[in-house]
Structure 1
Amino acid sequence: MKISKYLGRWILVALVGSPVTLAAQSTASSGITGDSTRTSQMDPHAMPPVFKMSPGVMQELDTVETALAMVPADPLLKGDPFGFITRPSDKGVSWLEENSRLRLGATYTVINQYATETPPDVRHDQVSGRLDFNGNLAVYDGESTSGSIGLLVRSGTNIGMSQQFNLSDEMGSGVFLNSLQGGGEQRPITLNILYWRQDFLHKRLSIYVGKVHPNQYIGLSLYNDDETTQFLNGVDNGNLTVPYAGAFAGGAAVEYQFTPHLYLHSVAVDTVGQPQDGIATLVDKKYFEATELGWFSGKPGSGFQSLRLAFWRDDTKDLGSGFGVGFGFDHEYRNGWAPFGRIGFATDTGGLIKRADALGITNIRPFGRQGDMFGVAMNYTEPNHSGRHHESLFETFYRLRLTNSIEVGPDLEVSIHPTYAAKAYTSLLPSARMRIIF
């Protein structure tokens, strides 16, 4: 009891500066957030609608969300320094879901990252935060058809330094050492996702039109695809040989569930637009198209398995046209261990990475705790002609669900020969990450 009180006081002191930071940012979200009493384990990218699930064949992501909704947060400490905010918020969210079929969620993720080695005159550390807000409105839910609107808004800022600074870019990495920021400068507010989802055939067929995120449909892993709670690096947040999998741009996607286990996903997006842009660049007629054939079995938390094979092509404004293929797998055992892997090959044009390999393992119940997660992975990438080095990256993390609304944990990356560095070198990047769930 004394230890719990001490830890509760310590985390409260550590978070004294958070309200000031939060007040300076706009709301946004990175996964299915919402109720802080739920687990954040293995969140897909976009919040699902409040629909009555059909008793027959269900879409893969709908199956996943239904299973995850049953997993409790399992916090280490029963007290919660943000309980005075999250408890009313949870009640309000539940009321909206029941009465308006509107689902809302928000998270704020803070990371302090340090690099032991950097190029000359480049600072070694970066502190940043990302606020994520997402929502979904079920417009109607009919006998065999339904319609909904999905939304994701993000706000990223550096804390105590220029908003243009990006440690990963300055180090010359080609794999995004901090996917919370990605590449380039911080963006104070972006509309990442805004789409209409139209369901047919009792939700076996879904069509998305608007501003979409290809990785929601292509190459999505439940164990290494969420930078707020899992691995930070870009290779473990999508196959980097699929150049626009991480984009947020105007386009459309289709999901069709052939059988309870076999599905087909296709997506097409604009390659010119950015998260901070609208959809006006669709008229440039530069597109990325991809199709994935996948198989899954079981449910997250009780032996989920997945196999994915994707093919893609693109036309770009600056990198020419290209094509490629990617494969990924996840295999969760009932003891909580889940090995995973990705591999991808691409042409020298159309993208920046020609080959990417990732192999690792996670534990979704370390020490029997449902709210925690452990992971370790090793990655290798081969760039196109513009890169200087083949980059390798090792990463391991532990995520502790401290309270209902707070996750904390260490992360360690080892960057070996950053892709675009003038001189090959190796750097260790220890990080401390915290996520607040509203």
Structure 2
Amino acid sequence: MKWPLALGMGETKVQAVALAAALSVLAATNGFAQAVVPDDDGFRSADDIPNIIESANTPKESRLDPPVSQSFMERWGAFKKSLDDAAGIKFSIAYTQVLQAASSDSRWQTGSGAQAEFDFTWELFGRGGTGPKGLIGGKFETRFNLLNATAPQSVAPAAGSIWSGAIGYGEQDPSLSQLWYEQHLVRDRVLLRFGKIAPFTVFDYYKYKSPRVAFLGQPQNFNPTIPFPPSALGFGAAARLTNGGYVVGGVFDANGSPIRPGFDTLFEDGELFSIAEVGWAPDFVFGLEPGKDFRPGNDDYHLTVWHSDAREKIGRPEGWGFTASAQKGFGNVVPYARYGYSNGGATTLKQFASIGAGFENVFGYDADVIGIGVSWGDPWNAALDNQYAVEAFYRMQLTPQFALTPDVQVIVDPATDPASDLLGVFSLRGRIAL
């Protein structure tokens, strides 16, 4: 049975608000006395399931440290650690809410929405270094409007932008949006993953690619020249070639959806999305210690190529493209540059580019980050102008479990509103992770 999430469904709103209230109480607590020590697992980005769990379970320096329910959080941390020790099960619970408003000379639009998620992994094989690691990963989630009829994902487009100012914050019925098995081989130099996967979290990595904890706008996150299916049945593989070198590739159902199993579209329609990537991360020495993090650190350079079959039911043509990305860390400053090209009309944009930097350890708080990025998009529709944008965010870790992030985007020449020269998009994101 589906759970209706449209504005006005009283039961859903009551449950959502109750969940937010409960998590808000927990967010005001102290850190874990027995913190779960991360083992640096994970396939790629900050939004990959093992890395979401790792982040939630890692103690963080914060501004506020109230003693409310400290004993509860100590017991919570001890419970999670005991579950991991006994059965190899790790999990995290998170609630993220976004408030957004967009304003131009001719338009005004507001929106509010949230995401609730439960992420888990279960290490079936190789626990304690006894052999090659094999684990199951999954995500239960729901996304909904809250206090407003417009979801944040739709605010900027409704006000004239060709891309979203809060990618991922739309509406989605409660669902098991990911469920996959991952096998590590050859002393963790090779990773294989198959099942229902979110390709966005695996490919075209860079450090601030996360609408949960970093940039909100689509250009700095969900590369608008790659037609990623949001969640799809498929297969991915990664290999560490040399110290610093890696390759990643995968094939997925181009019509995948987070709310459907996907066997019908994969085997009946047979329309595929294929992607491959080769990269170099010179600040990470691969393969010396089994079990170490596959993600690159502050230095990463890669080239990604993709192909998407024509999708007949929605009238989207066949397309292909590539993306080049580079980031280089200089202490607490990590500048980056990205470019994407799409051929064939499978995406809204023909070309895309962005540059920017992340500033970490802000004011001495190790979990605080400031990000600033500039982006440009060239639409396939020749009747639309090129669009430019500047985005800045400041993620403040107020308590060990709660981060507050104001975000500002200024869009120059909004492509679908030729009457306006500027569109301002103002957001506030709160995230609780336990």
TM-score, normalised to structure 2, is 0.81
The CA deviation at 1:180 is 3.5
Cα drift, residue 19 of structure 1 = 8.3
Task: Answer yes or no: is 1:44 the counterpart of 2:40.
Answer: no
Q: Distance in 2 between matches of 1:387 and 1:85?
A: 58
Tell me the distance in 2 between the aligned counterparts of 1:80 and 1:381. Answer: 48
1:419 corresponds to: 415
In the alignment, what sits opposite 1:10? none
Give the conservation status (yes or no) of the 8 Å contact 1:140–1:147. Answer: yes
CA–CA distance in structure 2, aligned partners of residues 388 and 302 of structure 1: 37
* 1:305 counterpart letter in structure 2: D
Q: For the residues of structure 2 that align with 1:256 and 1:80, how far apart are their CA atoms?
A: 45
Shift of 1:168: 2.8
Specify the code of the residue in structure 1 equivalent to 2:178.
I
Q: Aligned in 2, Cα 1:161/1:71: closer, same or farther, shift over 3 Å?
A: closer
Indicate the residue corresponding to 2:333 in structure 1.
Answer: 337
Match of 1:157 in 2: 144
CA distance in 2, matches of 1:361, 1:22: 37
Matches within 5 A, 1:194-233: 194-222=179-207, 224-233=208-217
* Corresponding residue to 1:306 among 286, 297, 300: 300
Q: Residue 400 of structure 1 aligns to a residue in which SS?
A: strand
* Alignment deviations for residues 344-394 of structure 1 (CA, whole Å, 9 cap, x no partner): 111132222211101001111111210101011100011113762322111
> Matches of residues 12-411 of structure 1 in structure 2 within 5 Å?
21-23=17-19, 44-48=46-50, 72-79=59-66, 83=70, 86-117=73-104, 124-141=109-126, 144-162=131-149, 166-181=154-169, 185-222=170-207, 224-244=208-228, 247-280=230-263, 281-283=265-267, 284-298=269-283, 304-317=298-311, 318-334=315-331, 336-385=332-381, 388-411=384-407
SS of 1:92's equivalent in the other structure is helix
The Cα offsets for residues 133-181 of structure 1, whole Å up to 9 and x where unpaired, read as 2111111117553321111222111112336783133224232111141
Listed as ranges, the gaps of 5+ residues in structure 1 are: 1-16, 28-34, 49-60
Instruction: Report the equivalent of 2:426.
Output: 430
1:328 Cα offset (Å):
0.7
Query: Aligned runs of 1:1-12 on 2, under 5 Å?
Result: none
Q: Structure 1 residues 377 and 140, CA, compared in 2 at 3 Å: closer, same or farther?
A: same
CA–CA separation in structure 1 for the residues paired with 2:320 and 2:224:
13
Output the CA distance in 2 between the equivalents of 1:38 and 1:74: 15
Q: Structure 1 pair 229/82, CA: closer, same or farther in 2 (3 Å)?
A: farther
Structure 1 residues 347 and 85: CA distance shift in structure 2, 3 A: farther
Match of 1:240, SS state, is coil
Aligned identity (percent) is 19
Relative to structure 1, is the Cα distance of residues 358 and 19 closer, same or farther in structure 2, using a 3 angstrom cutoff? same
Does structure 2 retain, via aligned residues, the 8 Å contact 1:210–1:252? yes
Kept in 2, the 8 Å contact 1:110–1:433? The answer is yes
Task: Report the equivalent of 2:10.
Answer: none
SS of structure 1 residue aligned to 2:86: helix
Query: Does the CA contact (< 8 Å) of 1:163 and 1:186 recur in 2?
Result: no
Identify if the C-alpha distance between structure 1 residues 94 and 392 changes in structure 2 by more than 3 Å, giving closer, same or farther.
same
Query: Is the Cα contact below 8 Å between 2:281 and 2:296 reproduced in 1?
Result: no
Kindly indicate whether the alpha-carbon contact (under 8 Å) linking 2:109 and 2:158 is maintained by their aligned counterparts in 1: no
User: 2:351 and 2:102 mapped to 1: Cα distance?
Assistant: 25
| Amino acid in the other structure paired with 1:115 | A
Counterpart secondary structure, 2:242: coil
Equivalent pairs counted in the alignment come to: 392
Q: Kindly provide the amino acid, as one letter, of the partner of residue 330 in structure 1.
A: Q
Which runs of no fewer than 5 residues in structure 2 stay unpaired?
Answer: 1-12, 24-30, 39-43, 285-292
Alpha carbons 1:86, 1:405 under 8 Å: kept: no
- Report the 3-state secondary structure (helix = DSSP H, G, I; strand = E; otherwise coil) of the residue aligned with 1:258: strand
Q: CA deviation at 1:216?
A: 2.6
Partner Cα separation in structure 2 for residue 422 and residue 84 of structure 1 = 57
Note the alpha carbon deviations across 1:415-434, whole angstroms, 9 max, x for none. Answer: 22333346454211122221
